[in-house]
A and B are shown apart, each in its own frame.
Chain A
């Protein structure tokens, strides 16, 4: 019952977003500001996550690959593909849901409980569009770049870790990483990333927008934003994988 209520209201919220901007130049300015808030400011944590993720995948793959019929360089193939198809788009989106989602929900939630949203409405501004569209476009545009950076760093992390720990030589890893590359995997990853970016921004904004009460509720909204966007990322990861790869 409750879920249907939220689903219905979320759908309505999305429809509210589709509206002609009051003033395009202002939306554009906000868009550039959000590119920084939503995207570039997350590069640090994305870099760290990606490098360590790549390192762990390489070492674990070597550890699990005990079959003498499979050559060691296959580790490079497995590392590359799992990073491109799954780890970079999904895991980085989960990290971004935590970082970007919570900040969007608390920003919009605070604006709600301090009547800043009412102040926008009273001036005749479509508040949901004004608050969400710049963030949405920024995320959908920037997330793919972040994920591509993550892919490079992840693979580089695997390569360095394999070499440093001595489990796979640099030459063998590179041989594998270049073997039978499927460009469509990157396209698939981008489709996932854009979908996840959309989910993170809209779900978090929705949670913030319908906050009632005070500071305590703003905190709860931001927690819910992270929980629900993470769950929906995993659900859509499954759906998209089933639809596109199966």
Chain B
């Protein structure tokens, strides 16, 4: 369970996030949706401590994360996995080494144990036979999957995904979504996903918060979202005319 309490963040005089509060549950896929520039990435970076909030607090299972210093956050970090928008794989390491990296850094596992664990994780994301390739030799979808494997290799309790399926074809996107959902349920992680993909919203949106101009505009689940009367949310979901017409027909 992750709780946000009145998070505000500005860059200089420009307010990006204003007073955001929300709760994200364990074993569920929690979505943060909103248009480009609405502050999704900034919010996620504030949650994981890559950016410092101006005010407000982030709690991980009741433990106040935002009040800790860099050093005090260290043990927390090993419970957090994050998949970045572009994958952020280490260019100088091959696929297997990328997935083994967090293990090499923080555990005393032997090389064989680490390799086994890495290969388990790669199998989990349906990647086999690519272990010796370098990131530059992978397609976008494969990179995302390797990044997921790397994020889950140290068995984190909290998983963060920044637009996990942007830039992927619809089928691969759904594959990735399902994978995230399965992993979340299997490992009972608290999972937060930034997205503006409507498919994901409808498919895996157990809990959704909608950001607009740095404020939380709406919150609910995928069952409630299409029925919402919130205008900004409607404009966001039904950006396509065809979709709107289809919905109105039903």
Contacts and interface: CB of A to CB of B under 8 A. Distances in A.
Interface of A: 22-23, 26, 110-111, 114-116, 118-119, 121-125
Contact of A23 (B50, B77, B105): B105
Contact of A26 (B50, B78, B104): B104
Contacts of B174: none
A15 to B, nearest CB: 12
A123 B88 contact: no
B88 A121 contact: no
B78 A124 contact: yes
Interface residues of B, number: 23
A119 B104 contact: no
Contacts of A110: 91
A116 B90 contact: yes
A204 B22 CA distance: 41
24 contacts: A22-B105, A23-B105, A26-B105, A111-B90, A111-B91, A114-B86, A115-B84, A115-B85, A115-B86, A116-B89, A116-B91, A118-B45, A118-B82, A118-B84, A119-B88, A119-B90, A122-B48, A122-B50, A122-B82, A123-B105, A123-B106, A124-B74, A124-B78, A124-B106
Please indicate which of the listed interface residues A114, A116, A124, A125 has the most CB atoms of chain B within 10 Å of its own CB. A124
Nearest to B108: A23
B56 interface: no
A127 to B, nearest CB: 11
A12 B165 CA distance: 37
Interface of B: 45, 48, 50, 73-74, 76-78, 80-82, 84-86, 88-91, 101-102, 104-106
B105 A122 contact: no
Given A26-B104, A116-B88, A123-B77, 17 more contacts: A22-B105, A23-B105, A111-B90, A114-B91, A115-B84, A115-B86, A115-B88, A116-B89, A116-B91, A118-B45, A119-B84, A122-B48, A122-B50, A122-B77, A122-B80, A122-B81, A125-B105
A22 B101 CA distance: 12
Nearest to B154: A123
Given A22-B106, A23-B105, A119-B82, A124 B77 contact: yes
Contacts of A111: 90-91
Contacts of A118: 45, 50, 82, 84, 88
Contacts of A114: 86, 88, 91
B180 to A, nearest CB: 17
Contacts of B105: 22-23, 26, 123, 125
B110 to A, nearest CB: 13
Nearest to B70: A126
Nearest to B147: A119
Contacts of B102: 123
A122 B45 CA distance: 9
Contacts of B89: 116
Nearest to B50: A118
Contacts of A116: 88-91
A114 B89 CA distance: 9
A23 B74 CA distance: 14
A124 B73 contact: yes
B46 to A, nearest CB: 13
A31 B48 CA distance: 30
A120 B91 CA distance: 13
A116 B102 CA distance: 13
Contacts of B82: 118-119, 122
